[in-house]
Amino acid sequence: MSVTRQLSQTIATRTVTRLLIPGLLGSLLVVYFAVPFLSFLGRTGSAETVDALSRPATQIAIRNSLLTAPVSTAIATVLGVPLAYTLARGSFRGKRVIEAVVVFPLIVPPVVGGAMLLTAVGRFTPIGAAAMTIGVPLTDSLVGVILAQTFVAAPFVVITARAGFAAVDERLEQASRSLGYGPLATFWNVSIPLARGAILAGVVLTFARAIGEFGATMMVAYNPRTMPTRIWVDFISGGIDAIAPLAFALLGVTLLVVAAIQRLARIPTVIER
């Protein structure tokens, strides 16, 4: 028994030694993240936060963000997950071009991305003018907000889900096909459950990016206000103290969604059973 305990202590010591330097370096980044957050947290009291969040303009901004970000995330997921699977499993001409197009919104500054969207769906473009004739403006509307959010956030679910699908053993999919299941049934019942963790991680990142999107949204739909654009307006008029309550609300919404999706990720799938 003592030999086993001594061996365990030796392994633990070696582990600590091996992780010492990486841990120290990583802790510097953690401190860098934590200090501004804690400093910002101390800028306002609970009474001021409640008062600020009760203002009509603030409540409208919160409502708009809570309406648009889930829609943007749903669009990105419904379209992005199949694209991720195609990129993970397919080999075809033009694949690298498609991969570059998917990554492109992550590379360009959001403001530039918003300007690009305006050249495509602005009210004086063919698409924008056609939409206006049927009463669906693509700029300065909630639809415009969704377009901007989807443009900048969708790559996250595509890239993350693709990594998840690439890690799935293709033999499991082949086994499903050999049992008589078609491509769609195999995709839904085998591929997606096995890549679920990566897909959910992509959904979390997409939602967080969508609800916090400012640059492209400001260009395409400065009105109606979302939480990020309202924060900018409040900052211009009142400084940092004026934006703290709404910033806390934005953070709170994001954390609640992340916690909910993480809880869903722990629910066992049919295959795991």
Whole-structure pTM value: 0.84
Distance CA 264, CA 258 (A): 10
One domain, residues 197 and 237: yes
251's tokens: 């953070």
Pair (135, 254) in one structural domain: yes
**How many angstroms separate the CA atoms of 155 and 161, rounded?**
10
Q: Are 21 and 136 part of one and the same domain?
A: no
Q: Are residues 29 and 157 in the same domain?
A: no
| CB neighbour list of residue 78: distance below 8 Å, 6 or more residues apart | none
Q: Which domain holds residue 35?
A: 1-41
Note whether residue 272 is domain-resident: no
Report the sign of the C-alpha dihedral through residues 239, 244, 245, 250, in that order: positive
Radius of gyration of the chain (CA): 23
Domain count for the chain, please give it: 2
Return d(Cα 45, Cα 50) in angstroms, integer. Answer: 9
Close Cβ partners of 64 (under 8 Å, ≥ 6 residues apart): 142, 145, 224, 225, 226, 227
Any idea what DSSP says for residue 181? -
Residue 273 belongs to a domain: no
Gap between the Cα atoms of 59 and 65, Å rounded: 10
- Structural tokens at position 52: 């600020």
Q: What is the pLDDT of residues 94-113, one digit of tens each?
A: 999 999 999 999 999 999 99
Task: Tell me the torsion sign for CA atoms 105, 232, 223, 45.
Answer: positive
Are residues 106 and 223 both part of a single domain?
yes
The whole-number average pLDDT for the span 14-43 is 81
pLDDT tens string 155-176: 999 999 999 999 998 999 999 8
> Which pLDDT band holds residue 13 (cuts at 50, 70, 90)?
low
Read off the pLDDT of each residue in 239-254 and give the average, rounded to a whole number.
Answer: 82
Residue 49 pLDDT more than 70?
no
CATH number at 156 reads: 1.10.3720.10
pLDDT, position 273: 35
**Mean pLDDT, rounded, for 3-14:** 60
Q: Is residue 271 part of a domain?
A: no
